[in-house]
Every structure is written in structure tokens, then in C-alpha cells.
């Protein structure tokens, strides 16, 4: 073989270093030259075809000439590369150190990154030139879809620091040979796993899930901390991907699981999430768009491929992982937290609220406000020793726990279980969908741009608590001319019915138009109606500067 390759080197076409002068040799002449050097015609033909394929893979040969049955290098540098390749094959020399492709954590990071770049370039080019190309890697993945309330837990990807890479993904990971439900470690197993529909992989993925969650969540253990169910099997998904130097055109088989947390498991998960700083909570809409408002991104390409525009609908069917139900969880138990310790708690359906004075001290009121701001997802600037967790939970000191118990005692006669207390953890026992901030905490501005439009600015005042600063928040919303008239009428104590075609319509229409701004700041209503007759603004108006 070495003799034939050396002969072929002498037969390869030549190029001038400058200009376009070059040789174009019929492939038949190359075969004939090898036969003349005592090669069998069949062997010579196969060798020429093999070398041609390698040169073409590196884009070294002129394809127009090749279509005529001729070999011609496209440039002088291409001819150098081609000769270097054949020379290496003839002599048995290598282009890389003998240990270059060794695997393991001991390998230098720059080498692994170089390998990844090689693989990415080669594989991307291979797929671009042939959309029907076959994957060279098959990965079986177990993902946990962990929902608490209206949020889903995502974790940093392995390649999270790589520019341009989407940073977060569902917790879990890929199957490895240690997860297999078999005692046979023979290499023959690898061929079974190189199949997206592998029965062995499918049978073993439960072990993958348990191992990955244990590793990602600091000893998060099945049975003690959670139970799981298989929820969805996604169609095989192909892409050029892979962490580190495990990078190639890959076929992924994703199996999605839902979790059911134990009380100990919920706190373990939330403590771990807050401590590690590598997790993020996404709403279903944020998963659908692939990013949060703060710029945090999610790798959800496979969900888009599988479900299209139905992602939010599919995620809505995921059961809540928390087994802890809110004690106050319907509109008859809707609550407005007091704006200060001098204001009452308001409980009940909109328009039928009743005021309840619990006799709260200022620290007790501050604790309720802290828990409420956190439950509603508002900005909070915590002080040292305070740990915000997912699901509305906050880890606080003994003094805060004692205050919480006092609040529970004061609310007990009114059958209001306001706070859930677990060890050093607190959260409001109110479903966030039915939680609001008292109207006294707000003020508003109305700016008229012209006779046809204006802007409503709603301001939620700052609160300084012993555990955190709850910053001021401003939300602006454009309003139409008729809405402006209604707002002015309410502000001046006039009848807003003047600006409605049908009795009572002004209230419903105004509520629908201003609903987004109310929801974003936690206000139930800008005005209050008593006995369906007497109407008045309940938010203080500021005068524009």
C-alpha cells in the first residue's frame, strides 16, 4: 500500500504558486500509473476512489473538472494540503499528537475546546452540504418538568458560558452506561444504544433521571424527596450539538417526567435552587418565547419542534410538583394586604370585600408585605441572611418566624390561615392569583397628550422592612379619550355613566383596559363600588409636575 501511495503522490496534478497555471489529469491516467507500478487494476481503482473521496471531503478538487473525469486542485494551497494528506497516509505519519483524542477530565481545556471547534466546523459543513446526512451520535435524555405554582425550574446548561448559547434547560441529562438496567457491560450494548428507539435505553432512563437530579440538586433523593411519572416522549430531534468536545450531528431522544414533591423535598429543592445560583424560574410564556425579561434564555428548540405554538397549552397540563395547597385559594378568600399597620386587611370578592383589622404591629405588617411582594414576583432588595426561594418561600431568622406565629394567632379568629411556616421557611398561604396589595399603597398620575389620548401612571410606594427594601414601582399605560373622561369623572366625584352607552358598561370596559397595569403592580382596582351604586377612587391622585 505504501508503494502505491508513493506512486500516487508522484502522479498528483501540479499547480503554479502564482497565477492560474495548473495540470488537469484524467482519473484513468492515475489508475493506469498505479497499474504500471504492478498494482492490480481493481486495487488501483479502489485506492484512487478512496483518495478522491477524502480530497473532495476537504474541498480540494475542482468539481467542474471532476465532472469531466479529471483531477485538478482548485489552488496551490489546496494542492499542498492534498499532497500532505497522501504523504501522511503513505508514511504512516500523523498530523496530531498520539494522545490528542484521549478522553477524560485530565485533558487540557484548550485542547477540548479546539476539538469542539473542529467537530463543529466539520459537522456543520457536512449537514449544510447534505440535509439528509446521518447523525454520528445518539443521546437519550431524561428531563424533569418541575412546576411550582405558575413557574417551571430550569438549570444552567453545561455550555452556559459559551457566547451565543442559550443558557438554561430543564433539569436532567443524558443516559450513561452506569444507568443501564443490565449486568452485561460488554461493548455489544453500545450498538443497542445507538438507536433513538432503543428498548434498553427506554427501560434505563428512570435511573438516569434519579442520578441526574441527585447530582444537580445536592442529594435530591427519589422516594424521600419526590416521586415521578413519565409524562411525554418527544419525537427524535437532530442538531449539531454537544457539551465540550462531545460535539457532533446528534439525534436526541427526549423523555419528559413530572415530579411530585414531598414536603421535605420541596424545601430541599428550593434551598438548593437559592444556594447554587445556577437555576432560574420561567413561566410557561417565557419558556414559549425562550427568554425572560432579564435576558436569561432557555434551550427549548426541541419543544418548539415537537409542539409548535402549543407549548403553553402543553405546559398547562403539567401537575404542580408541590403537594402543599394554599389555604386561601378562591375569589371569596381574595385578599388585599394592608398598605401599612394602620390599614385593615380586606377579604372577599371584588365589590364585596370586608375590612378586617388584625391589630398588626408595624413589624408584623412589614413581614406580610415582604411575603406578598415575593409571592407576586416583585423586585426585592434583600438584606444579608435573607434567602428568597421559589414558590413564594423565604428563609428568615427566628425573629421573623416568631412574628409569623403571632400573625397566625391574630388571624385565627377570622379563619384566615395567612402564613405557612416550615422550620425557617415562610410563605403566604394565599394563591398568588387571589393576592393583591392594598389600594392605599398606590398613587396615580394622569397625563393628557391631546384630546384623544393620554397616559395613566400607577405608582406603588416603597416599603423599608427589617429584612428587605421593597422598592417603588411605576407602571404606565396608554388610555383613550373616553377612558380619560371616566377617570376624570371618578376623580372629581362625578357620575361616570355619562360616558357609557349602557349602564354599568364603563366599569367593565375600564377594568378590561386597565387590567394589565393592575396585574403588574398588584392592585385590585383603581376604584371601588359599594352596593353596586356608590363609586369612588380609592387610590390617591398626584399632580403632574
149-173: pLDDT as tens digits: 888 999 987 654 556 677 899 999 9
- The whole-chain average pLDDT of the chain stands at 89
Quick: pLDDT tens for 460-500.
999 999 999 999 999 888 888 888 888 878 777 777 777 76
Query: What is the pLDDT confidence band of residue 12, given thresholds at 50, 70 and 90?
Result: very high
Q: Which of 544, 338, 339, 380 is nearest to 457 (CA)?
A: 544
The whole-model pTM stands at 0.74
Using alpha carbons only, give the angle 216, 222, 226 rounded to the nearest 5 degrees: 90
Quick: pLDDT tens for 429-454.
999 999 999 989 998 888 877 767 88
Q: What is the pLDDT of residue 92?
A: 86
Residue 353: phi, psi to the nearest 5?
A: -65, 145
Quick: pLDDT tens for 235-258.
999 999 988 888 999 999 999 999
The residues pairing with 337 across neighbouring beta strands, listed in sequence order, are 437
Q: What is the pLDDT of residue 545?
A: 37
Strand, helix or coil for residue 330: coil
Residue 365's H or E segment, with its range, is helix 362-375
Residue 29's H or E segment, with its range, is helix 27-36
Quick: pLDDT tens for 111-139.
999 999 999 999 999 999 888 999 999 99
Query: What is the pLDDT confidence band of residue 544, given thresholds at 50, 70 and 90?
Result: very low
Query: What is the pLDDT confidence band of residue 182, given thresholds at 50, 70 and 90?
Result: confident
Cβ–Cβ under 8 Å, residues 523 and 539:
yes
Q: What is the pLDDT of residue 314?
A: 96
Q: Which of 479, 474, 478 is nearest to 521 (CA)?
A: 474
Amino acid at each position: 500500500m505504501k508503494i502505491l501511495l508513493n506512486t500516487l503522490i508522484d502522479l498528483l496534478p501540479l499547480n503554479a504558486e502564482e497565477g492560474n497555471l495548473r495540470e488537469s489529469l484524467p482519473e484513468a491516467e492515475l489508475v493506469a500509473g498505479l497499474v504500471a507500478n504492478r498494482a492490480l487494476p481493481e486495487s488501483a481503482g479502489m485506492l484512487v476512489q478512496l483518495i478522491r473521496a477524502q480530497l473532495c471531503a476537504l474541498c480540494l478538487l475542482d468539481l467542474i473538472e471532476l465532472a469531466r473525469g479529471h483531477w485538478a486542485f482548485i489552488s496551490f494551497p489546496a494542492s499542498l494540503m492534498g499532497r500532505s494528506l497522501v504523504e501522511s497516509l503513505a508514511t504512516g505519519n500523523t498530523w496530531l499528537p498520539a494522545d490528542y483524542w484521549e478522553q477524560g477530565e485530565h485533558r487540557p481545556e484548550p485542547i477540548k475546546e479546539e476539538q469542539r471547534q473542529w467537530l463543529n466546523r466539520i459537522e456543520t459543513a457536512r449537514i449544510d452540504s447534505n440535509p439528509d446526512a446521518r447523525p454520528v451520535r445518539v443521546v437519550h435524555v431524561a428531563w424533569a418538568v418541575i412546576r411550582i405554582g405558575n413557574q417551571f425550574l430550569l438549570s444552567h446548561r453545561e455550555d452556559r458560558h459559551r457566547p451565543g448559547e442559550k443558557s438554561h434547560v430543564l433539569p436532567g441529562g443524558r443516559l450513561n452506561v452506569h444507568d443501564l438496567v443490565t449486568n452485561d457491560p460488554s461493548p455489544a450494548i453500545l450498538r443497542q444504544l445507538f438507536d433513538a428507539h432503543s428498548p434498553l435505553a427506554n427501560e434505563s432512563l428512570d435511573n438516569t433521571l434519579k442520578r441526574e437530579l441527585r447530582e444537580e440538586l445536592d442529594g435530591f433523593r427519589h422516594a424521600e424527596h419526590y416521586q415521578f411519572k413519565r409524562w411525554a416522549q418527544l419525537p427524535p430531534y437532530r442538531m449539531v450539538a454537544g457539551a465540550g468536545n462531545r460535539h457532533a450531528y446528534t439525534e436526541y431522544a427526549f423523555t419528559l417526567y413530572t415530579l411530585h414533591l414531598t414536603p421535605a423535598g420541596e424545601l430541599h429543592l428550593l434551598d438548593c435552587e437559592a444556594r447554587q445560583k445556577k437555576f432560574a424560574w420561567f413561566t410557561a410564556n417565557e419558556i414559549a418565547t425562550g427568554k425572560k425579561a432579564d435576558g436569561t434564555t432557555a434551550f427549548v428548540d426541541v419543544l418548539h419542534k415537537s409542539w409548535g405554538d402549543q407549548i403553553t397549552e402543553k405546559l398547562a397540563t403539567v401537575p404542580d410538583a408541590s403537594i402543599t395547597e394554599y389555604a386561601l385559594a378562591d375569589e371569596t378568600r381574595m385578599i388585599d394586604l394592608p398598605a401599612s399597620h394602620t390599614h385593615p386587611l380586606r377579604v372577599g370578592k371584588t365589590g364585596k370585600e370586608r375590612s378586617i383589622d388584625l391589630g398588626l404591629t408595624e413589624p408584623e405588617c412589614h413581614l406580610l408585605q415582604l411575603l406578598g411582594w415575593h409571592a407576586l414576583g416583585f423586585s426585592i432588595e434583600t438584606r444579608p441572611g435573607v434567602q428568597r426561594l421559589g414558590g413564594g418561600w423565604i428563609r428568615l431568622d427566628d425573629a421573623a418566624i416568631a412574628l409569623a406565629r403571632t400573625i397566625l394567632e391574630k388571624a385565627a379568629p377570622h379563619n384566615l390561615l395567612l402564613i405557612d411556616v416550615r422550620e425557617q421557611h415562610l410563605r403566604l398561604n394565599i394563591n398568588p392569583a387571589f393576592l393583591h396589595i392594598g389600594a392605599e399603597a398606590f398613587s396615580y398620575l394622569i397625563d393628557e397628550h391631546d384630546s384623544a389620548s393620554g397616559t395613566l401612571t400607577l405608582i406603588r410606594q416603597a416599603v423599608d422592612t427589617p429584612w428587605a427594601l421593597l422598592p417603588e414601582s411605576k407602571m404606565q399605560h396608554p388610555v383613550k379619550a373616553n377612558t380619560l373622561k371616566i377617570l376624570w369623572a371618578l376623580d372629581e366625584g362625578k357620575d361616570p355613566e355619562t360616558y357609557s352607552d349602557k349602564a354599568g358598561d364603563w366599569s367593565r370596559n375600564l377594568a378590561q383596559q386597565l387590567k394589565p397595569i393592575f396585574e403588574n403592580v398588584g392592585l385590585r382596582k383603581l376604584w371601588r363600588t359599594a352596593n353596586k351604586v356608590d363609586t369612588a377612587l380609592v387610590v390617591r391622585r398626584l399632580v403632574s409636575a
